[in-house]
Structure 1
Amino acid sequence: MTASAIALLVLVGTGVVASLVPRWPGIAAAGAIAAAALGIPAAVAVLGEGTAVEHRLAWAAPIDEVRIGLDPLSAMFALPLLALGAACAVYGVFYLDRARRPGVPAAVLNLLLAAMLLVVLARDAVVLLIAWEMMTLASYRLVTYEHGDRAVRRAGWVYLIASHLGVACLLALFVLLGHLRGSFGFAELAARPLGGGAAAVAAVLALLGFGVKAGIVPLHVWLPEAHAAAPSHISALMSGVLIKLGLYGLLRTLGFLEPAEWWGPVLAALGSGSALVGIALALYQRDIKRALAYSSIENVGVILIGLGVGLWASDAGHPRIAALALCGAMLHIWTHAMMKGVMFLGAGSVLHGTGTRDLETMGGLMRRMPRTGALFVLGAVAIVGLPPLAGFASEWLVYRGLIDGGLAPGGDAGWILLLLFAVAVLAAVGALATLCFVRIIGVALLGQPRSAAAARAHESGAGMIAPIAALSAGIVVMPFAAPHAVAGLGSVLAQVARVPLSTAPASSVLAPIAWLSLALWLALAAGMVVLRRLAARSRADDTWGCGYAAPTPRMQYTSGSFAEATLQLLPRMLRARISVRREATLFPGHGELVSDRGDPFTRSAYEPLLDRVGKRFAQLRWVQQGITYLYVLYIAATVVIALAIVAAHDWWVAR
């Protein structure tokens, strides 16, 4: 049995033990650390050697045997899963220290990690679907941890409904593949790729089913709801890993189909739309965790752009462009897991110290929570793609893939236009992301406290700061390690593109970034020394009050007003809905401004559709009488009808 399989058993075992000893959440955290210690070296070895291992375990009907294993694609996703999972498990022990039975959510977290690991280890469709459903149910339980809150219960239902609509598409997908190829095994499906119209149907089903979990616009509506409702370390895990498993499933499924010319343009177009919409909606969120959730949608879009361009370039015979774009997308999967881990765990520390997620009630937290504030700023600088941190390295590879693709000789005019549009999208997204996180940092960390809760804020303990610091160290180190990291992705590129691709172009592009990062860190250190010497010679005085004798926190920019000018440039659909209510009196009276910052896709498309569907189903409410015997009769009747259909089918075939 391989180390990855043992890691899976460790997660399940320690999760069960922690649930039986609910006052000892450290048991589950120790299990997550042990699983990471076992699984990460195994994944690194598979990436380095480009090999695959598989194990078969005899099982009862209906699947006969359980097939699990580790190949380069699985290993690439297992690395951030295990690393971020261990950090979140440790963080959760201290984050939920006031819980009555903290071992229960810690146990469910380990079961979630086990389910996600089983998703990437599964070697046949049935095991994958079972693991996928386990992952959904475990994450639903964690999203609804604070189920006493009505908004949390609503977020849980939205997540559960969206997830199961996606699962319905996946069931149809694998039934189609299994019926046409006579097997659910991944090796058998990859050996005989599906082509023609059936392949197009399968690709669309995969895009819908896995796209829901990945949060691709317009299938993203569950993501901000669930991320805001879940405990912060669960939000970090969902954003950093769980939504990436949607991309894993999509890449895995495309390997069962014959390559099609439209895959690249569709993925790049969906990525461009997701990136723009995600960061635009993040700009006007008051809830810090909702803003981070929309930022995750933007980053999924960046990854999709890289994957789309890479697949197109591979099919078009441009191996250098394919290597740059695909390496950029895969490196961004790793870097985003670290960056969003820092951001969500940092937001959790803010919530733990203030009791609020509302930016309008924060302010002045850098002075009261200096360690959390410094690490949060580091994560923000990285996630907007600025050097010398991890986000710049991965996004620069995607940029180079787009630019080199646009300059490639003999390119199709339509594709060149799409590539140029994608470059413009990335540039716009980078600018909007910078504005978004400057807004969050300025409103939450700087200025004066805007509420009593912010004035009483306290710093988090070492148990919460240490996981954030560990992930932050990865953000700092990644630009130096990136040339070596992408060198191990050659086997993954070959698996995704289905042609041998060299990672040398990506390594050569990243090599100067390491020197640039070193120069910038040295310049930053020198600048800090100069500033400290200047500060020693200066004297403290009151901050200028802008001409007011007694300025108050209410005179500061709000999170909404900070970005208002930019929001006016966005399409009307993406703006917050503002309504002003005034008393119709002769003299000035009471007035009220109401801002609806909900998701426009939910407001304009999904809620009207679900209202209509709900009214139709309400007409069938007479079926639900609340009588148990009647429900047993329904079940028996369904079984009889199913048996009759099977018998009729067998009789027809035997004729």
Structure 2
Amino acid sequence: MFFDMMRDPAFLVLCAIVLAGCSGLPGLFLRHGTLGQRLASVAALTSSILALPSILYLLIGGGEASFTLNWNLPFGPCEVALDPLSLFFLIPIFLIFPAGSLYALGYWPANSHNSEKSVTFFYGLLACAMALVVVARNGFLFMMAWEVMALSGYFLLVAEHGEKEVRSAGIVYLVASHLGGAALTALFASLFWITGSFSFPAPQSLAVAGGVTSVLFLLALAGFGSKAGMMPLHLWLPSAHANAPSHVSALLSGVMLKVGIYGLLRVMSFVSERPLWWGALLTAVGLTSALAGICVASAQKDIKRLLAYSSIENLGIITTGIGLFLLGEGSGNPRLAFLGLAAALFHVLNHAIFKPLLFFCAGSVMHAAGTRDLDRMGGLARRLPFTAFFALCGSIAICGLPPFNGFASEMLLYLGFFGEARSATPFIALGAPVLAMVGGVAVIAFVKLYGIAFLGEPRTEAAAHGHEAPVTMLAPIGLLAALSLLGGLFPPVFMALVQPALRVLAPDTGLVSALPVPPVWFAVAGGSVIILAAVLYLFLQGRVKGCSTSGPTWGCGYLRPSPRIQYTGSSFGVFFSSLSGALIRTRLHVDPVRGLAPAAARLSYAPEETLLHRVVLPFLNIAGVACAFLRRLQHGEVQIYILYIFVTLMLLLLWVH
């Protein structure tokens, strides 16, 4: 019987989930930290080898499975199930988790970080919890896995808790997670009130009054939207991703944000009739998040904050696709519904590839230059040639340019805006210029990131003596870059994984199942770009080698040009930053100059998000003052608490009387 179960691909997926959760346990009990970390990496790779082939087999073959676990809790049957939607969202988990675990061997070694044991343990626990969220079919089990996921992310985030900024980021993350969890608790309590069970309703089976479904949708949007980083529920995301270790940031951005998207799609699948205004709201929220997120990203000088804000942009693109799906479904346009939902799910997979790729590259840059500040980098392409090449691949992909996968998924959105909007809902075409502006600003932001970090001359001694990352860090980066290129040249390979999930969300709408653009077009366009780039590179290299004279560069009157006269990240984007002043402001700190022979003065600056620092934080400060009175009621003395109970009982007796 055991061997029969081992031949069951669904059982292998569950075994992989358990193995991922236990991957960090040996390191907690072994004195030799390096051995525990290596065992965790082996367990992570083994879980991926078990899970990914089984997931692909079930997903492409149309298989589904359900398991009911015996427990004595009064919350209904503990059911876990694998349907195409769950299987699709398991792919990023078992792709990025082992890649990050291998990457950590070089980036976060046990002999250099005292927190390695806890980071390795919670890294595996986070992957396990995310997978349980995806396969859970009981509201109580879902919330248990959700809270484990949130707490694991917190302990990973505060790995370097000796720094004040890290502790502050952890507190913001924890508060946001619990506020989102409160909304989800209300959501599942409402579902229990409607259905009389904590078990998930069957797809398309929930048919209740419009007001009730709207409440469910808004609760899901608040709870899952905060985890997905939708604006204005994104406030925890930039500081969390910036201060976490890079392989943790890759898992948070590449996978955990998508768990919020999964939750929203899962709740939407319960409802048989989805109002048109749901689509309008999600489209507006998505376009706003995409444009505002990338505008704020373009003003950042912290390489990881720039990547964090660009995650808000990409989650906005995904949300926009879901909104187009609902608009197409509500207006009787199945082709628009297909383009929107296919673009959203396709971009889920694409973003789960190129964003961890960029966070891994950022970790390699920080490993070499010793800083996250773009203004203290420069010239790293000569010292980190492999990292520079892979970072260029990721930058092209995230900008939505051929021949990488970001272009393919965003092309579906453009086809939805332009090609299908003319039929029943022509106002949808207004989203196309917004999406085009998002792409243009993304190019500005990542030309800045790549140019300032890798090109030019080193601005500091640390950047001048940088070194290439070890093989354990470069191997997962190269794998993700290859997958990104594969998705751009041959999008039907990824679309074969997307199409089964489409049928879970819209089984009866008659969605088309073919790309509106011939697949060979992507390969031809991408191949042409690669060939053109190679020819241009060889031509420029030939001209450089053919140059027979050399001399000092003309320094505009300076006898000794210095790296200090180069563009910085802030000066490169100063013009665009001035145009987005309503979203981002610059905080300056200038040392005063005093006396006849003043000492050296320093100027420092940091971009601040207006919504966070001018609206949210002042509101929280006011709320903190208002709640400070409650602290005075908590003395820790039993006599005082007995007095409170007595007063409360007297007031209740008077009220009853």
TM-score (norm 2): 0.91
Distance 1:385 1:546, change over 3 A: farther
Q: How far apart, in 2, do the equivalents of 1:498 and 1:180 lie?
A: 23
> Who is 1:598 aligned against?
608
The answer on 1:609 being equivalent to 2:623 is no
1:370 alignment partner AA: P
> Who is 1:392 aligned against?
407
| Pairing partner for 1:206 from 220, 224, 243 | 220
> Who is 2:278 aligned against?
263
| Pairing partner for 1:62 from 74, 81, 88 | 74
**Correspondence 1:12-51 to 2 at 5 A:** 12-21=21-30, 22-23=33-34, 24-51=36-63
192-201 vs 126-135, which moves further? 192-201
215-224 vs 558-567, which moves further? 558-567
Distance 1:504 1:514, change over 3 A: farther
Deviation of residue 379 (structure 1)?
0.6
Deviation of residue 311 (structure 1)?
1.6
Distance 1:55 1:192, change over 3 A: same
Is the 2:584–2:608 Cα contact (8 Å) retained in structure 1?
no
Q: How far apart, in 2, do the equivalents of 1:500 and 1:17 lie?
A: 50
| Pairing partner for 2:574 from 540, 545, 564 | 564
**Correspondence 1:114-129 to 2 at 5 A:** 114-129=128-143
Q: 1:474-496 CA deviation, whole Å, 9 max, x = no partner? A: 11111233123213433311222
> Who is 1:648 aligned against?
none
> Who is 2:301 aligned against?
286
TM-score (norm 1): 0.91
Q: How far apart, in 2, do the equivalents of 1:107 and 1:587 lie?
A: 56
Deviation of residue 393 (structure 1)?
0.8
Deviation of residue 172 (structure 1)?
0.4
Q: Structure 2: where are the runs of 5+ without partners?
A: 6-10, 653-657
Distance 1:87 1:589, change over 3 A: closer
**Correspondence 1:439-518 to 2 at 5 A:** 439-506=448-515, 508-518=517-527
Is the 2:384–2:466 Cα contact (8 Å) retained in structure 1?
yes
Q: How far apart, in 2, do the equivalents of 1:55 and 1:637 lie?
A: 47
Is the 2:88–2:497 Cα contact (8 Å) retained in structure 1?
no
> Who is 2:151 aligned against?
137
SS of 2:433's partner is helix
Is the 1:28–1:103 Cα contact (8 Å) retained in structure 2?
no
**Correspondence 1:228-627 to 2 at 5 A:** 228-257=242-271, 258-408=273-423, 410-411=424-425, 416-417=426-427, 419-506=428-515, 508-539=517-548, 541-577=551-587, 595-626=605-636
| Pairing partner for 2:164 from 130, 150, 158 | 150
Is the 2:380–2:453 Cα contact (8 Å) retained in structure 1?
yes
> Who is 1:227 aligned against?
241
Is the 1:47–1:489 Cα contact (8 Å) retained in structure 2?
no
The answer on 1:96 being equivalent to 2:111 is no
The answer on 1:162 being equivalent to 2:176 is yes
Deviation of residue 502 (structure 1)?
4.2
1:204 alignment partner AA: L
Q: How far apart, in 2, do the equivalents of 1:588 and 1:283 lie?
A: 36
The answer on 1:74 being equivalent to 2:74 is no
Deviation of residue 589 (structure 1)?
11
Deviation of residue 504 (structure 1)?
3.6
Deviation of residue 215 (structure 1)?
0.3
> Who is 2:655 aligned against?
none
Q: How far apart, in 2, do the equivalents of 1:630 and 1:4 lie?
A: 55
Root-mean-square deviation over aligned CA pairs: 2.6
SS of 2:79's partner is strand
> Who is 1:652 aligned against?
none
Is the 2:408–2:491 Cα contact (8 Å) retained in structure 1?
yes
Is the 1:578–1:595 Cα contact (8 Å) retained in structure 2?
yes
Deviation of residue 212 (structure 1)?
0.5
Q: How far apart, in 2, do the equivalents of 1:142 and 1:493 lie?
A: 34
Q: How far apart, in 1, do the equivalents of 2:619 and 2:538 lie?
A: 60
| Pairing partner for 2:97 from 85, 89, 98 | 85
Q: How far apart, in 2, do the equivalents of 1:501 and 1:88 lie?
A: 39
> Who is 1:647 aligned against?
none
| Pairing partner for 1:186 from 172, 194, 200 | 200
2:268 alignment partner AA: L
Q: 1:119-151 CA deviation, whole Å, 9 max, x = no partner? A: 111111111111110000011000000001110
Q: How far apart, in 2, do the equivalents of 1:135 and 1:194 lie?
A: 31
1:354 alignment partner AA: A
Distance 1:337 1:457, change over 3 A: same
> Who is 2:8 aligned against?
none
The answer on 1:113 being equivalent to 2:123 is no
| Pairing partner for 2:232 from 201, 218, 225 | 218
SS of 1:348's partner is helix
Distance 1:501 1:536, change over 3 A: farther
SS of 1:144's partner is helix
Is the 1:313–1:321 Cα contact (8 Å) retained in structure 2?
yes
Distance 1:533 1:215, change over 3 A: same
1:443 alignment partner AA: I
Is the 1:221–1:599 Cα contact (8 Å) retained in structure 2?
no
Q: How far apart, in 1, do the equivalents of 2:513 and 2:97 lie?
A: 31
Deviation of residue 350 (structure 1)?
0.9
Deviation of residue 101 (structure 1)?
5.8
Q: 1:491-511 CA deviation, whole Å, 9 max, x = no partner? A: 311222343444544264544
Q: 1:218-275 CA deviation, whole Å, 9 max, x = no partner? A: 0001000100110000001111110111111011111223311111111100001100
Deviation of residue 198 (structure 1)?
1.0
Q: 1:326-374 CA deviation, whole Å, 9 max, x = no partner? A: 1111111111111111110000011111211011111111112111111
Deviation of residue 88 (structure 1)?
0.7
SS of 1:191's partner is coil
Distance 1:303 1:5, change over 3 A: same
Deviation of residue 161 (structure 1)?
0.3
Is the 2:230–2:312 Cα contact (8 Å) retained in structure 1?
yes
**Correspondence 1:638-649 to 2 at 5 A:** none
1:620 alignment partner AA: L
Deviation of residue 547 (structure 1)?
3.6
Q: 1:626-651 CA deviation, whole Å, 9 max, x = no partner? A: 56x689x79x979x99xx9xxxxxxx
Q: How far apart, in 1, do the equivalents of 2:258 and 2:310 lie?
A: 14
Q: 1:289-348 CA deviation, whole Å, 9 max, x = no partner? A: 001000000000111111111121122221122212211111111111111111100000
Is the 2:336–2:421 Cα contact (8 Å) retained in structure 1?
no
Is the 1:190–1:256 Cα contact (8 Å) retained in structure 2?
yes
Q: How far apart, in 2, do the equivalents of 1:47 and 1:541 lie?
A: 62
2:54 alignment partner AA: A
Distance 1:619 1:260, change over 3 A: same
SS of 2:81's partner is strand
